[in-house]
Amino acid sequence: MFNFISKNQFIFNYRRMWPFIKPYWFRALLGILLTIPAGSLDAVIAAFLKPITDNVLVAKDVEFSRALPFIIIGFTLLQSVLNYAATYVNAWVGSKISLGLKWHLYDKLLSMDPIYFDQRSSGEIILRYSNDAELATGGLVANLKLFLTKFFSSLGLVGVMLYNSWQLSIIALGIFVLAVYPVKLVKRKIKDVTTKTVGATANFLTIYNETFSGNKIINSFTLEETFRGKFDQTLKFLFRLSIKLTQGGGWLSPLLHFIGSLGLALVLGLGTNLIVTETITPGNFIAFIGAMMMLYTPLKSIGTNYVKVQMSFLAIDRIFDILNAEPKIKSHDGAVTLETIREGLECRKVFFSYVPERPVLRDVSLKISVGQTVALVGNSGGGKTTIGSLLPRLYEVDRGEILIDGVNIKDYTLESLRRNIAIVFQDNFLFSGTIRDNLQMGNPEATEEDMWQALAAANLDQFIKTSEKGLDTVVGERGILLSGGQKQRVAIARAFIKNAPLVILDEATSALDNKAEKVVQEALEKLMKDRTVIVIAHRLSTIQSADNILVVNDGRIVEQGNHEELMARQGAYYALYATRFVDGQDQDSPTDESNSHTSDAPPQAMNAE
Ligand SMILES: Nc1ncnc2c1ncn2[C@@H]1O[C@H](COP(=O)(O)OP(=O)(O)O)[C@@H](O)[C@H]1O
Ligand SMILES: [Mg+2]
């Protein structure tokens, strides 16, 4: 039976899965051992057909015929119990292996760089990190049991056949060889379809996720029809693929059935001859036919199972693609710990692009001494947020270097580097759970007192105090139960609790009304005190009080200096200032992601986030 799956492929896949099977090897072995008697009993039943025919039907042995029902019931009962035990042990081992795989995959997922996530959809992540683990073990374990049971049952049945008539055995077994070629053909067809199915299923899952996250946009823009269409298309594509899979492998079962019947016809024809010439007894003949039919039944089911096994092997391929991938951003050997920042930070001629050939930062150099506040201003899409992301090595520079206290940040351990930097992002993400849970993400050891202090600094203590559940107020998935300003202040409090010497603030006060903005602004100012701060600034007050202002346009720093110096120069900053603040307007124009502003064409806004 094993010939139907290329032996090498079979061994290869079990070998690389071994580390995940190893912890449960004893039960796995037990599961395999149980399949031996469960499978072999088929042969016993077939072998019984001979005495039944010869002693009962032909010789009319009454004693034997009375005992017969009990013998049959006894054997089948034993077989059923063994089968159940094998199923149970295999399910247990299978679940454990699949959980182990998921654990290792998730661990890998956490170590991946942001760029890995940028390039993938949520659907693909769920599919490849969770579903594939089930597909792999499900196919592997279920089929291991099936194949082993059938293998031992086949061994026994072939023995019964040989015992009863070697002449007929040659014919029956010869027919098996005919079946090998079509089985091999299927393998090639499945791979292509499966790869496409993975992609389509990932899209499918992403639609669910987007429908969930974007439900308000869908409602308010009345996008129901669009999404219905998108979903329908994916469904239709998946349907076509599943039909292709059937076309690729579904004909195997009927074909094997046909080949099997061919063998049966030949055996029947020749068998009668052998009985007439008294080469074999009628009992031999019946037992032989019984064994042969039992042998062909699993052969037919191989058609369906073969597709499943191949699909599980492909899932294993995908899993090991992930497990063997190494994140690009990690601590290198000999990296040192960054205790705290003593002197300052410097970017030297930094170049960066998210996508090859599309430069985002070009020749960015800047210097910040400890305790200073530097403001980044400039047109939207200019690269301010990107500069902030490079410091904790969320992305890696293409060229140039970033130094902290004169040492390249790549030479610090990733963990210690990131411990020294607190970021308040533009779009703040809160995790499902309570205010307390979210604050503790800033520092797991934070005490109750630390938390209240941070909340006070973030101007959020009044709100939390008046909430019925206090620190245990639930924020909802993505913080959906809080207002924009409250969410942002929780994020600021989280950064406070982290108490890192370098703070990066991506101001997003534009999303807030004037009152909320003022409260958040006060919170930010408290966070900035006594720390080294890089602030992507919106508000004139923040910009004016900064020690140094850098104007970032189209990925370059086109000007720097303090407010007075830059105003006196009447350059890019002056132009920004004029368009944005002269009429007293402190709000943003619509987001402009076109990245087309240059320093000589005054942008419409200081920042349009
Ligand atoms: N994760 C990303 N993948 C690819 N391109 C990105 C990514 N994030 C930002 N960009 C692009 O990089 C440029 C700079 O973006 P960003 O640093 O966010 O600008 P700013 O913060 O100044 O508005 C933009 O053109 C933007 O489209
Ligand atoms: Mg930005």
How many other CB atoms sit within 10 Å of the CB of residue 478? 15
Structure-token pair, residue 465:
């105090």
Q: Which atom of ligand 1 is nearest to the CA of 115?
A: 1
Residue 316 has pLDDT above 50, yes or no: yes
Same domain for 21 and 42, yes or no, is yes
| Spatial distance between the Cα atoms of 101 and 538, rounded to a whole number of angstroms | 47
pLDDT (average), residues 57-67: 80
Q: How does the average pLDDT of the chain come out, rounded?
A: 84
Atom of ligand 1 nearest to the CA of 608: 23
Taking the C-alpha atoms of residue 17 and residue 11, their distance in angstroms, rounded to an integer, is 10
**Domain closes at, from 300, 324, 348:** 324
pLDDT at residue 593 greater than cutoff 70: no
Q: Which atom of ligand 1 is nearest to the CA of 426?
A: 21
Q: Where are the extended beta strands (E) located within 178-252? A: none
**219 lies in which domain range?**
7-324
The CATH number assigned to the domain holding 563 equals 3.40.50.300
Percent of the chain having pLDDT more than 90? 33
Predicted structure pTM score = 0.77
Beta strand residue intervals within 71-133, DSSP E: none
Choose which residue among 385, 387, 554 to substitute to test ligand 1 binding: the one with the highest number of ligand atoms within 8 A of its C-beta. Answer: 385
281: domain CATH number? Answer: 1.20.1560.10
Tell whether the model's pLDDT for residue 519 goes beyond 90.
no
Looking only at Cα atoms, what is the longest distance across the chain? Answer: 121
The structure tokens listed for 378 are 């400039």
Q: Quote the tokens at residue 512.
A: 């807030």
Residue 555 CB less than 6 A away from ligand 1: no
Q: How far apart are the first and last CA of the chain?
A: 64
* Residue to mutate (ligand 1; options 360, 504, 505; most atoms within 8 A of CB): 360
- Looking at the fold, whether 273 and 368 belong to one and the same domain comes out as no
Distance CA 378, CA 509 (A): 16
pLDDT exceeds 60 at position 164:
yes
Same domain (yes/no): 303, 343: no
Give the list of residues 6+ apart from residue 336 with CB closer than 8 angstroms, or none. 407, 411, 412, 413
Ligand 1: which of 354, 427, 553 to mutate, most ligand atoms within 8 Å of CB? 354
Does one domain contain both 340 and 315? no
Residue 304 confidence class, pLDDT cut points 50, 70, 90: low
What pLDDT sits at residue 322?
93
Kindly state the tokens that stand for 265.
């016809």
Q: Does residue 312 share a domain with residue 344? A: no
Of 199, 230, 214, 209, residue with least CA distance to 122: 209
**Same domain as 180, residue 54:** yes
Of the two residues 445 and 587, the one the predictor is more confident about is 445
Q: Are 502 and 531 in contact (CB under 8 A)?
A: yes
Q: What is the pLDDT of residues 248-289, one digit of tens each?
A: 777 777 887 888 888 889 998 989 889 889 888 989 999 999
Please tell me the residue having the least CA distance from ligand 1 atom 10. 354
From the CA of 112, how far away is ligand 1's center (Å)?
20
**Which DSSP helix (H) or strand (E) runs through 363?**
strand 361-369
C-alpha 605/C-alpha 505 separation (Å) is 19
| Tally of structural domains, the chain | 2
Instruction: Judge whether 178 lies within some domain.
Output: yes
> Does the residue 430 lie in any domain?
no
Task: Count CB neighbours of 159 within 10 A.
Answer: 16
105 versus 49: which is more confidently predicted?
105
User: Which region among 97-111, 346-360, 414-428, 512-526 has the lowest average model confidence (pLDDT)?
Assistant: 512-526
- Residue 388 beta carbon below 6 angstroms from any ligand 1 atom: no
- The per-residue pLDDT for 433 is 87
Answer whether residue 396 is part of any domain: yes
Min mean pLDDT across 21-25, 241-245, 292-296, 569-573 is at 292-296
Ligand 1 neighbour 360 (Cβ under 6 A): yes
Output the pLDDT for position 303. 61
The DSSP annotation for 513-555 comes to -HHHHHHHHHHHHHHHTTSEEEEE--SHHHHHH-SEEEEEETT
In this prediction, residue 592 has a pLDDT band, given cuts at 50, 70 and 90, of very low
The structure tokens 């010939």 sit at: 3
Question: In this predicted model, what pLDDT tens digit does every residue of 377-425 receive, in sequence order?
Answer: 988 889 999 999 999 999 999 999 999 999 999 999 999 999 999 998 8
